């Protein structure tokens, strides 16, 4: 399988692709973190995620635990993105899909859709599963604000993920 963003059409194995996606997910998470810090309640989600993982109220989760949950989730979301791409590539021939629409010569519509699915998953899973169960005071007093700011952050993540994946492949010449 050759991802469209691979430089020179080089064949890249699934393991390398998933590793590149994890690194790209980390880069996208760091970009998203900048946006989160600029929003009034933007960094609430990492504390809520830390609360879910460590069983502590969000206001008692240490910053290091919140950061670890945040960065790990970003890396896993990057892997999910590439797993969706691999699944699509495996299903193309059996489904009779012979045309791949390219965007700017570096990505495809299917990759953009995979990124959009990841963004929707990140938003939905946090907003409607994790946040109501572990959000504590933030969920009780300002759920709409936190969800809106999380939507912005998740969207920045998706765009950053696409850019990071393409950039890594171009810089490393995979």
Distance between terminal CA atoms of the chain? 13
Backbone angles phi, psi at 9, to 5 degrees: 70, 25
Percent of the chain whose pLDDT exceeds 70: 93
pLDDT of residue 1: 41
Mean pLDDT calculated for residue range 105-134? 91
Residue 173 has pLDDT above 80, yes or no: no
- Encode pLDDT of 47-73 as tens digits: 999 999 999 999 999 999 999 999 999
- Encode pLDDT of 82-109 as tens digits: 999 999 988 988 888 877 777 776 678 8
Is-contact 112 162, C-beta < 8 A?
yes
Assign 29 a pLDDT band (cuts: 50, 70, 90).
very high
97: tokens are: 């899909």
58: tokens are: 């969000």
- Encode pLDDT of 131-151 as tens digits: 999 999 999 999 999 999 999
Distance CA 103, CA 158 (A): 16
Q: Note the Cα 161 to chain centre separation in Å.
A: 6
From residue 58, give the alpha-carbon distance in Å to each of 15, 99, 138, 147, 154: 35, 47, 9, 16, 20
pLDDT of residue 6: 54
Assign 12 a pLDDT band (cuts: 50, 70, 90).
confident
Residue 10 has pLDDT above 90, yes or no: no
Is-contact 160 27, C-beta < 8 A?
yes
Distance CA 51, CA 55 (A): 5
Mean pLDDT calculated for residue range 118-133? 95
Does residue 35 sit in helix, strand or coil? helix
pLDDT of residue 92: 84
Residue 5 has pLDDT above 60, yes or no: no
């Amino acid at each position: 399988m050759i991802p469209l963003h691979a430089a020179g059409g080089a064949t890249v194995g699934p393991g390398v692709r998933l590793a590149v996606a994890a690194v790209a997910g980390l880069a996208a998470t760091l970009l998203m973190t900048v946006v989160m810090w600029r929003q009034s309640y933007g960094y609430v989600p990492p504390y809520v995620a830390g609360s879910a993982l460590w069983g502590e109220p969000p206001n008692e989760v240490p910053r290091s635990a919140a950061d670890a949950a945040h960065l790990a989730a970003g890396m896993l979301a990057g892997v999910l993105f590439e797993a969706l791409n691999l699944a699509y590539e495996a299903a193309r021939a059996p489904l009779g899909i012979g045309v791949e629409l390219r965007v700017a010569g570096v990505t495809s519509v299917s990759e953009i859709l995979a990124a959009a699915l990841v963004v929707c998953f990140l938003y939905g899973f946090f907003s409607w599963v994790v946040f109501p169960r572990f959000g504590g005071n933030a969920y009780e007093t300002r759920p709409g604000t936190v969800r809106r700011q999380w939507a912005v952050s998740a969207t920045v993540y998706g765009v950053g993920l696409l850019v990071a994946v393409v950039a890594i492949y171009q810089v490393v010449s995979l």
